[in-house]
Structure 1
Amino acid sequence: MMQNKLTQPEILAPAGDWERFEAALDFGADAVYLGGTQFGMRAASAKFTPELLEKATRLAHQRGKRIYLTCNTLPRNQEIPLFEGFLEQAVACQVDALIVADLGLLALVRQYAPDMPIHMSTQTGIVNYAAANQLYQMGASRVVLARELSLDEIAEIRAKTPRELEIEAFVHGAMCMSFSGRCLLSSYLTNRDANRGACSQPCRWSYHLMEEKRPGQFFPVFEDEQGSYILNAKDLCMLPYLDKVVEAGVDSLKIEGRAKSSYYVSVVTNAYRQAMDLYLQDPARFQIPDWLLEEVYKVSHRQYCTGFFFGHPQDCQYYETGGYIRNYDVVACVDRWEDGRCYATQRNRFFAGDRVEILAPGQKPFALEITDLRDGEGTSIETANHAMMQLSFACPTQVPPHTIIRKAVSEV
């Protein structure tokens, strides 16, 4: 089951369930990473049973895509005996690689499945070429670098490691205030172990100070009466600098978000896919059009930053709120297009006469005014206001299934 060497940089998308998995495939991912029901760092997104994993892998391979299975927790003693069975299922499902953080699990994979490609997780904390080379000697085919590295450091790792060793780096999504996800805050405060997939995200909470002789009197950490989100990191976005990431030697550009929505997976994957295609067409003249840069602002997100890629972060914390910015809602998803009409399933309320955007895989979104809105029985209606109702409307442009219909939040 040896992995074929990548011939061009890979867009690697997350999938927390089947809907998000299909979204990743539809909107241009070269590979998808997902979790089984054990050993994954997103306990809430452990949706892929052995049966579903086999189905996902079969579909991905039919479409020329790859599946990477996460087993990147730091397992305790009582979990180790379970790993051999987990590994046997992964091999039976023909996944393309395992993402591993623990050296013990690395050794067990080499013992029980010597042909299985191994990707060392960002949780391993790989920050130099010596560690990368050692892991390669131990059997790793890819290293997922720590998120705390600059482009210059990545380039040096690339220059001082075998070309056969693939390099992966996160380029988009939520950041962790701790070192590459190695955090104990959640364990201490809520008894939920972040290193075993159950982080309660206390870094997103609002904090006040309390003086011991004045119990019950809370003082803001700084002048805002709402308190301070002193640990809250902005989201990472390297879309405008995709060329610099590739030129530093990154083979796989990873999008964070197994707990995010299928809409997030669709839009962000689509943006990086199209940007990568533009880069590959003419690297020397690479420039991302404004409309494509705007796409990543049309999903639920925190303020963006570039993390450590350009050195020590200067503006990567956000102290005012731990919440998200959301400017668009999905109002429907296309099931089919036929004879000038979109047949779709409703996701949020919208009205005849609304102006929406249509986002099809691999295409630039276009605006459309909703006309001739009908329910599933063909009766003319003014409002699509029932969750998951079947509907149709006039659409002169043919679009494929799973096309997204979205609307600015201010208009919803």
Structure 2
Amino acid sequence: MGTITVSNLGKAYKQYPTRWSRLAEWLIPGHKARHSLKWVLQDINFTVSPGEAVGIIGINGAGKSTLLKMITGTTQPTTGSVNITGRVAALLELGMGFHPDFTGRQNAFMAGQLLGYSVEEIARLMPEIEAFAEIGEYIDQPVRVYSSGMQMRLAFSVATAHRPDVLIVDEALSVGDAYFQHKSFDRIREFRKQGTTLLIVSHDKGAIQSICDRAILLNAGRLAMQGEPEAVMDYYNAMLADHQNQTVRQSASVGGKARLDSGTLEAEIVEVVMLNKAGQPIEVVAVGENVWAKIDVRVNSEIDGLVLGFGIKDRMGQMVFGTNTFHTKQKIEHVGAGCLFRFNVYFSANLGVGSFSVHCSLVCNDNHIEKNYHWIDRALVFEVINIDKPLFVGCAWNELVFDIQKIHDRQ
């Protein structure tokens, strides 16, 4: 079983004021430093336990790829240490280690040996590698004629030909086609069931929340947050608009989970209530029941536009459905301070049995990146129960009609 222990990890690069400063530091006697340090990662500490899956997220430049390179040993840390137990397979930069003039088959043999396989083992595994990669006759063509997706197919197939104790995957999977992405994640899930420890970098919220037990958020080279994937992804989402001088807050627990809200509060969601068709507040909803959400909004400062976003999330934090009043062509233009609004959102709870939450947001146009006034995840939590529908599975309900006709009698 594989483990990963990262202790006080940091990475800095030397920056010289002129091109001659580097030479002077090497040649002139003495210990005077002629450079400054540019830290890209500092004080990173975490442990990945045997069989655990951990996702790493953060904006571009946060240090995610640098962290993985230090964990795999392709880059040396400036401070701290990394300890890994078990056999490691890593898929970092696309095509890393592939020689463009060699064929896919030749590169597979070379990459396999770098992973610790013998030539005999690779020869035995080659039919499985070819079958999983599904690149056909290109396996015997030079890699320079491969598309980025074909390189990824081959690299992933080689790296996962044997189930590793530790699997480390960077964003490389994102360049593949949808079919192979699904195929790759199916293999990753299967490895997880068999005990493989997983460390994955991805911007895919669905992948992080469906595969990982825990998520780590990097921001400006430091560990900003770690914990349950849904909570970390919500916090990350809120941080994406931090240039607006907004605040990010975690408030009292809702349904056993901390409610996260953020925004400039130029406009503010004051209350969110779920009601049945009789106008009574409810926390339990029947499958297919007609309900509505009452959302009261207060405008605290003069704003150019006001748009309400509304969505339903499942218990994993995946959005089941969502839209906003910009897309329904109901944007409110030029709103003065002190205005109060009530948004009534009517919908049928065509949902599966289980726990769901309401997401609400106030923005200026079609998304929160430009202007985020108020963003609330888990504004309220409600349960869906099945009272009068046939037994079904899944997170959504749809009424199916089966038309059965006998077209031939047995003679």
Query: Could you say whether these structures have the same fold, taking a TM-score greater than 0.5 normalized by the shorter chain as the test?
Result: no
The structure with more helix, counted as a fraction of residues: 1
Q: TM-score, normalized by length of structure 1?
A: 0.28
Q: TM-score, normalized by length of structure 2?
A: 0.28
- For the pair shown, the structure with the greater C-alpha radius of gyration is 2
The structure with more strand, counted as a fraction of residues: 2
